[in-house]
Amino acid sequence: MDQQLHFVTVATRDLDAARSFYSGLGWSPALDVPEEIIFYQVAPGLLLGLFRSDKFAQDVGLDAAPGPSGMTLSHNVGSPDEVRRLVARMADAGGTVLKEPRDGSFGGIFHALVRDPNDVVWEIAFNPGWRIDDDGAVIIG
Amino acid sequence: MDQQLHFVTVATRDLDAARSFYSGLGWSPALDVPEEIIFYQVAPGLLLGLFRSDKFAQDVGLDAAPGPSGMTLSHNVGSPDEVRRLVARMADAGGTVLKEPRDGSFGGIFHALVRDPNDVVWEIAFNPGWRIDDDGAVIIG
């Protein structure tokens, strides 16, 4: 199995709220099928799919889809100040700050948690022990 | 906000079972911190982090972490036969087949669902309306 993820699909209660939130962050969809699913490209070869909850449930064979839980998505930025600025922008766009920007418990990380309008939890972080090489390889340690 | 995901982090009950399952699929970790977290690079610039449930809960400020739900990860392959072969391999490696390989409800998709040992649900799919360009752009429609 190639070590490659092609889609992350999340059960989404309110697609309109999702669309408004992510467009407020400057994101553009790769494909937007109203009342069904919105795809955003979030890495080379990878789409994040926000799939309306009832259709998600049907697709995976459940009666009802729980909101996303047990999972976080992370976006790294270049400095603690950038963490603060992005978190403020996400709150303006309709996000809920779950953890205000602060030092993490290890590795010099500075981070915050913001919930999107459909319970997707984003970690926004500055992590000095992490970087991406020119070829896309992630260095972490 | 750059439209880029850097980590997908999943609450993981049993890291040993996870390690065994993904190594059985031929995956190699970018970093493996025993009793804490295993990172796999799954796209340019993107790590999948399997984070021990109790530490995940602590990190997001919960008393206990639920298993992952309301979310699926997808891996696309080149033909229906490749779907069948990969699903069989995932079952051998310790996965649970939730939906046997079959035609999807739209777009000529042929797919299956397999749960990893910690309740992460993988969709394995052949999707003729999807491809990745040389520059990493995803074409879907």
Q: What is the pLDDT of residues A12-60, one digit of tens each?
A: 999 999 999 999 999 999 999 999 999 999 999 999 999 999 999 998 8
For A43, the closest of B1, B5, B56 (CB atoms) is B5
Asked if B10 contacts B48 with a C-beta cutoff of 8 angstroms, the reply is yes
CB pairs < 8 Å spanning A and B: 192
Low-confidence ranges of chain B (pLDDT < 70): none
CA-to-CA separations, A77 to A83, B8, B68, B106, B129, in angstroms, rounded:
6, 16, 26, 38, 34
Angle of helix A15-24 versus helix A80-92 axis, rounded to 10: 140
Write the pLDDT tens digit of every residue in B57-79.
998 888 887 889 999 999 999 99
pTM over the 0.95 mark: yes
Kind and range of the H or E run holding A7: strand A7-12
Residue A106 has pLDDT above 80, yes or no: no
Domains and CATH numbers, chain B: 1-67 (3.10.180.10), 68-141 (3.10.180.10)
Cα→Cα distances B26→B88, B93, B135, Å:
14, 10, 25
| ipTM of predicted assembly, 2 dp | 0.96
Name the residue among A8, A27, A136 with its Cβ closest to that of B45.
Answer: A136
Chain B nearest-CA residue for A141: B31
Interatomic CA distance for residues B117 and A119, integer angstroms: 24
Conformational region of residue B23, where left means phi above 0, alpha means psi within -120 to 50, and beta covers everything else: alpha
Question: What tokens were used for A34?
Answer: 């109203």
Q: Residues A90, A114: contact at Cβ < 8 Å?
A: yes
Is there a contact between A56 and B66 if contact means CB atoms under 8 Å apart?
no
